[in-house]
Amino acid sequence: MRIVLKECAWEPLGGELLVLTDPREVIRLRDQDGQVGALLTALDEGPGTVAGLRDRLAAAGVELDEDAVRAAIEGLDALGLVECESDLTLGDPALDARHASTLAFFGPYATLDRPRADFVNQLRRSHVLVAGVGATGSSLVQCLAGLGVGRLTLVDRGEVEPGDFAGQFLYRHADIGASKAERAAAWVRAYDPCAEVRPVDRWISGPDDLKDLLDDVDLVAGGLDGHPEAHLWVNEAAVRAGLPLVVGGATRSEITYCSVDPGRTPCVQCDENNHPAGAGGFAERARGRLTARTALIGPPALQIGSLIAYEALRYLTRFEEPRAAGALITLDPSNGMVQEHRPFTPDPGCPVCPR
């Protein structure tokens, strides 16, 4: 295996080595004898094997045996500073060009055991069901397609209406009157011919309406701009199937989303049970949102879709832990998007959560 040093800068300071990988992150390493700095310099010459790096160090006057070099490389790997040369790309020039930004995004999270190509391939293999391709789902679908999610099932019964154009950029004037699921699927196919997309023209009127669609699905995502209880039905369907769920919604005055990791976090139904109607629970907030949904314009609609997609990205690749797992996150557009994070309380009697 040839080891590559990720983009970083370093300089010695006293007995330490300061390593900068991001303007917000400085790593401080003990390096009394300058050996770590010498190893970084050896790696900076280009990709190398452990034996090759030992030789470069020896040429620079630093005598270390292979075991010591290997241990030092493992230490750099634990800090996220090195990766494997052979897995920097997807191995196909066209795919590498298409996913160049995503490959670069995962660079800091790659390790010798988990190369950046692995994250992107994980996305390309993933299947996400999007419940609702309206105000929230429109930008969500665009973000998921951009990430390179390989399979999408898009569920909606609505038709494209003139009033949708303030914030639903999947659709075109010529689409007015057409099935949203069909037009959204057509958008995805035109955007990325590699993506598999299945439109489902169906009302969601209970958890069972999603049951037959969840085979091979990795994650369920969606908006809350439909029936007041739609999020509870989608929650029940996802949790019973053991699938992660990310849902959210936006109005003129607030953007909210949450995620559920079945069996590991409380679910939306737990929160509903702990905050019955009128007590400010998730469902209550959702109901209040309904009267204002026609006021949803592009900026908050794009914001919520991107937040849901980003949380979905965490579940699909685990590049970092989900941020909204078992909690309601609220952003206030009128106050510079200041966030509130309210954890859900588990309901031991929840009829949906696994026992």
List contacts with Zn ion (CB under 5 A).
267, 269-270, 350, 352-353
Residue 178 CA: distances (Å) to CA of 19, 55, 175, 205: 55, 67, 5, 21
Least distance (Å) between residue 283 CB and Zn ion: 13
What angle in degrees, to the nearest 10, is found between the helix axes of 50-59 and 66-78? 110
> What's the min distance (Å) between Cβ of 220 and Zn ion?
15
Name which of 29 and 350 has its Cβ closer to Zn ion.
350
Q: Minimum distance between the CB of residue 260 and Zn ion, rounded to whole angstroms? A: 8
Closer residue to Zn ion, CB minimum distance, 3 or 350: 350
| Least distance in angstroms from the C-beta of 351 to Zn ion | 8
Q: Which residues contact 343 (CB under 8 A, 6 or more apart)?
A: 266, 326, 327
Determine the Cα–Cα distance for residues 260 and 246; give it in Å rounded to an integer.
Answer: 7
Q: Which of 2, 264 has the CB closer to Zn ion? A: 264
Residues β-bridged to residue 201: 156
Strands laid side by side in the 327-332 sheet? 196-201, 151-156, 127-131, 219-223, 245-250, 255-260, 327-332, 338-343
Minimum separation from the CB atom of position 315 to Zn ion (A): 17
Tell the smallest beta-carbon distance from residue 128 to Zn ion (Å): 22
Q: How far apart are CA 140 and CA 280, in angstroms?
A: 26
Q: 265 or 303, CB closer to Zn ion?
A: 265
CB of 272 to Zn ion, least distance (A): 9
Nearer to Zn ion, 206 or 346 (CB): 346
Closest to Zn ion by CB, 241 vs 352, is: 352
Q: Kindly state the tokens that stand for 333.
A: 């557009």
Q: How far is the CB of 263 from Zn ion (least distance, A)?
A: 10
Query: 167-170 — which CB contacts under 8 Å span 24+ positions?
Result: 167/135, 167/138, 167/139, 167/296, 167/297, 167/298, 167/300, 167/301, 167/302, 168/134, 168/135, 168/138, 168/301, 169/138, 169/139, 169/142, 169/298, 169/302, 170/133, 170/138, 170/141, 170/142
The Cβ of residue 298 has, within 10 Å, a number of other Cβ atoms equal to: 15
For residues 8 and 239, which CB has a smaller minimum distance to Zn ion in the complex? 239
Beta carbons within 8 Å of 153's beta carbon, 6+ residues apart: 127, 128, 129, 130, 197, 198, 200, 213, 217
Total count of residues recorded for the chain: 355
**Nearest-approach distance from CB 223 to Zn ion, in angstroms:** 20
